[in-house]
Structure 1
Amino acid sequence: MKPNEGYKQARKLLKERFGNNFMVAEAWIKQITEGDPIRTNNPQGVRDLADDVKACVEALRAMDMLEEIDSRCRMVKLVSRLPLYIQGRWRKEAQRTVEITGKYPHIVKFTSFLETVAKELFDRCLELLNRKSVEANSSACGGLENGTSKVSLPIVTVLVRGKGQSDFVRTNALLDHGSNKTFCSVELVNQLGISGQPASLNLKTLNDGKDMLVEEVYLEVMSTVVKRKCREILCLPRVYALNDFPELRSSVATSADVYRWNHLNDVLVPHRQNVSLLIGQDVPKGLMPIEVRRGKDGEPYVIKTVLGWTINGPLGNISEDLHMASACHFVYGKSDSDISLEARVEQFWSIDTGQVLAGSVPELSVDDRRVLKVWNGSIKLKEGHYELSIPFIDECPNFPDNKSLALKRLLYLKKRLSEDTDLHKRYTKEVNKLFDKGYAECIPSTCNTEEGKLWYLPHHAVSNPNKPDKLRVVFDCAAECKNTSLNKNVSQGQDLANKLLGVLLRFRERNIALMADIEAMF
């Protein structure tokens, strides 16, 4: 090939592979819409996203394809990557624009908004870095942890157990006057070996908020310093177990911290261990002061509660090589039963502007996670098919003998088939298919099954009026015997169905849509 022709062919090939405007536009849009959410304490992430959005807008404008990013669905995906408090600011800005112009803001306006927010965050960080006072943990710029003073939080050592248990576990508890709910760590729940009910919780702190699925448990606590006969058990009926429980070990007072204060000499300090329980204002008896001791101005004070003495306030200077992080532990949580009508209306309208439009990733409940753990631990490939264990609610279910019920249903089916020859032939054909395809197998007459481990499944014929030629053999897993059934003993598992709203929106994003169906299921 001549050099001139080779050069032309090379340019043509490059244009086909990398010069297609649609492909280039999709690559730019994917870069800014498909990525991890930016955390509240990551101003650099906001700055980087602002730069990427600006570059994307300039590139699409040069190709005259700016309308590709202006779709509502893609804008929602883009906004959902921002921290919640920035999302709130943008929604207010968008609402004002809609009220004035009647149209949703253009991507150019969003780019300008994002650049302004990024500049504000960096200006705030510079201001905090230039301060010479005590440095504190700031969500605006990622945390500054070289403090010069230790502050004790109201933490007390307690004994905790689950409802109905006899053995206690020793841990530290924070008596938090700034929380309207009571929380514990998932590690504490696992240590106690208890389980609770799944619950939906809206958790808010001073500068962040999110919805989460948690486990609600019932706990009982009592003091470790009072004589055992005089100890009073404090009931915590609604405790929410959190995966990300705050690390508060550095806020626990030690003997070395309090020896210098005369009014603290006889006060027992908490055990040197982490905090795994946070008791909020929903348990006022646990926070109510019985006695207060105070020293001079600026000195720590102690409060006596039913759970013991708590040390509060500054404990003096600490060594320069010890890092202390100052933080506010204000926590505001709302469970499903606490959500007001106004909040529910807000949740309803958030469907139009929130993350629901962006995708269809289902949230996992506590039960869903347990089922996935069972499946992941039991999956195996057998004769070309994957085999998984049945996710029983109890690891060792105990079924009653339902053979008489199954025989009664079988006799009814036999009578029905004997009265309809055509139905008999079709039903026999479908049952034989189950054996031919390996879905069912004959049980040997010598098969011995442990008592409580056998369950008979009744079956019957079901036909669809719209498909009269098709007959299905349905196994009745809901058939009950002695107030139990197979369905009642097996976890449902995760809902894998895509949300229809997300499907319809994604249907408009590409040129070709694929659809599939399951051939058979029983």
Structure 2
Amino acid sequence: MTRTENQRVPAQTTQPKEDKPTVVANKVKVTESVTHDMHTMIVPVWLHNVSNEESKVLVYALLDEQSDASFIKESILNKLGVSGPSVSLNIHTISGKQITDSIKIHGLKVRGYNEEVEISIPSAYSTENISAGRSQIPRPETAFDWPHLKAISDKLMKYDPNVDIGLLIGLDCAEAIMAEEQIAGDSKKHPYAPRTELGWGIIGRISPHSSPLEDAVVVYRTVTQKVEINEEKRVNFLVVPTKTKEMANPSQVRDMFELDFSDRKSADTPLSYEDKRFMSKMKGGVHQLKDGHYELPLPRKDDNVKFPNNKLLAEQRLNKLRAKLGKDNQHKGDYKVFMDDMITKGYAEVVPTKDLVRNDGKVWYIPHHGVYHPRKPKKLRVVFDCSANYRNQSLNSHLLQGLDLTNKLIGVLCKFRQESIALVCDIEAMYHQVKVNPEHRDMLRFLWWENGDLNNEIAEYRMTAHLFGATSSPSVANFALKKAADD
């Protein structure tokens, strides 16, 4: 339900149809069951269309950085009195294909409930429902219950049951969902509060000692498919938001397991916009070195991104590591062996003196820590924390993850039956076998002591190869492997 900016509309209640679920995806049924102790980034906004700026409605908007497109609830369109060209959407889900009719809307503008800045939404698709639970809407009383969030309790609108969750804003309107500042608690388990141009929100579990009422989850799927607009075929991107709860249906469980052995062609699976960008960067940037290794760029989302200087963060983490290594000689020895081996084999190098000072925003320092293999207690691997956050930025947040390029199980099993003898092999340090373009290596800097001696000066190193910990490394390494096989 919505209300106008100047007049309250009497509340009306519409019960969902139980015999016809809104969306069926992954062989599961859409339900209204959600956990009651979680908040997500849902903010109240004033919404209008440029064709009629006097007609404004208040709605809750779900800010979803996993969606490539924006959606508006059909009932809200009726309130605004706007329409657009009809679109036939061919939706691909795990359970199959589904055709649905939608309307493409242009000219929408939003403004936060207590904000002054208006933001234009490039386009939005109509949908019957926005799949988000009302219990997930942030409320002032939630902020007041947490000491670190009390300061924003008066900046959140009092919960209004008469206001619909009528809008989903995706990455096509990044300025609306990008956090400008953030308040975090003492623990990573505590809820945190980001502020966008549309106002404050709260994300996370708000009742740390409670447990979910039901095993319900929210799934967002992005697919790319041809759509028809006025009988003209164009390529558009559709994000299918579904709230799913597993059903104990034997036939559906069987179908789910059989998906691993599906014989459908990979060409039938549409690529997302970001996957297409990833493949374009890989195909355009791959080249083979004289020693036979392939060199590939870091697949950045924005090639013009400028990083803040996070050396202080790396130094703080290194000091904590120094204290830990100083108390455990075994750990220190294993750590030194790993780092010496990585540098000796050329996977990392000392940063040249001429490159030490750079102010172009193309330098990023990566903290690291050691992890022992659970089945090999004496084997330590140094993991680079590419998700380390500094001023709301991390290396992983700027990298394209890429698509899953691993061989499908059905193909592997079939090939084992082709010949009498099957050969299995392992590539040692697979990620390190793929080199990084020289112009990208300063974004993979790390700090370490000269010769691994904790009493020596701290030196700056940089990776020459893709590293364990980067979100893009699995796809990059598999792309290089397939390229080597093709060549």
TM class, shorter-length: 0.3 to 0.5
Larger radius of gyration: 1
More helix by share: 1
What TM-score, normalized by structure 2, do the two folds share? Answer: 0.40
* Richer in strand (by share): 2
Per the normalisation by structure 1, the TM-score is: 0.37
